[in-house]
Amino acid sequence: MPEGDTVWLAAKRMDTALHGATLRRGELRVPQLAAVDLAGAVVAEVVPRGKHMLIRLADGRTLRTHYRMDGSWHIYRPGSRWRGGPGHSIRAVLATEEWECVGYRLHDMAMVPTAQEDQLVGHLGPDVLGPGWDLDEALRRLRARPDEQIGVAILDQRNLAGPGNLYKVESLFLCGVNPWARVADVPDLPALVERARTLMLANRERPEQSTTGDTRRGQDHWVAGRKGRPCRRCRTPIQLGDQGPDLQERVTWWCPSCQATPVPVDPHARTGLPGTPARRARY
C-alpha cells in the first residue's frame, strides 16, 4: 500500500499541474460518479490528508481519492501516451490546456461539499506530514487501547494518518520495539512515533523510499524485504510473519535479537490473529 509520503508527493505534483486551472476534461469513471462532468470547473488546490488525496474545486466541492494497494495518479503533457496501465483501469481524467492527470485503479472515490470533508476524512488521526501535526493527540489515541499490538496500532489511521507497512517495520526496528508488543509496553512511545515521522519527512520529496540513507536497491531498508538476510546491526537472520486483523494481515519483518522484548509476547493470542477478537482497521 502506498505510504503517506507517496500521496504527499503526488498531491504536490497534482497541485502544481492543476492549481487555479480550468478543467477542459473531467471524467470520473466509477458508477457512483459516472454522471458527474467536471469540465469547466476550476481547481482551487490539491492537498493530501494521510493516505487520502483531496482535490478541492473553486465551486465548493471536493473530490477524494485513495490509492489503497495499487492506485496511482500519472501526469502527462497533452498528446503524450498514457502509460499507467490498460485503459479499463483508468478511474479519473482531469485535463487542462497544459496537463493531463490520469488516475489508475483509484479507490474510495467520493464527491462532497468542501465544508463537509469530515464525512470522508474526519475519522483520521493527526496527519504525520500535515501542517497541523499533533504528537500529543496521536499519543492519546494510541494509549486509549493499551493492549493493542503496536504493529497494528501504528497502521490504524484513526491513531495517526499516513504511516504504512514500510514505516511501521522500519521505525519499530530502529527503536528496538517488537511488532507484537503491547502499546502499553513500548518503553518510549513518543520516540517511536517521531521516528516514523522523521523517516517519512526524509522521503516525501522523492519517489524512492530509503530508511537507511542509502537509496541503492538492496541497501535502502533495515528489515523490510530482507527475510532470512542478516540484520545490518547484529547479523541475526531477519524474520517475516503476518500481523493484523483477519483478511487484513500485513507482512511484518523484524530482527528477533534487536527487537527482543523483556515482556513475553504471544503472537497467536493477541488482537488481530485467527481466533481472537480484532478491530477492523480503517484506512
User: Is residue 3 annotated as part of the catalytic site, yes or no?
Assistant: yes
Q: Name the pLDDT band for 203 (thresholds 50, 70, 90).
A: very high
Q: Does residue 164 register a pLDDT over 70?
A: yes
- Please, which residues have CB within 8 angstroms of residue 70's CB and are 6 or more apart in sequence? 105
Which pLDDT score is estimated for 277? 35
User: Is residue 97 annotated as part of the catalytic site, yes or no?
Assistant: no
| Encoded amino acid at 161, one letter | A
Helix (H, G, I), strand (E, B) or coil at 230: strand
176 burial level (CB within 10 Å; 0-12, 13-18, 19+): middle
Structural domains of the chain in order of their starting residue, each with its CATH number:
4-122 (3.20.190.10), 135-254 (1.10.8.50)
What digits encode the pLDDT tens for the residues 257-283? 999 987 666 555 444 333 333 333 333
Read off the C-alpha cell for 136. Answer: 500529543
3, 100, 148, 170: which one is catalytic? Answer: 3
User: Is residue 227 annotated as part of the catalytic site, yes or no?
Assistant: no
27, 48, 49, 51: which one is catalytic? Answer: 51
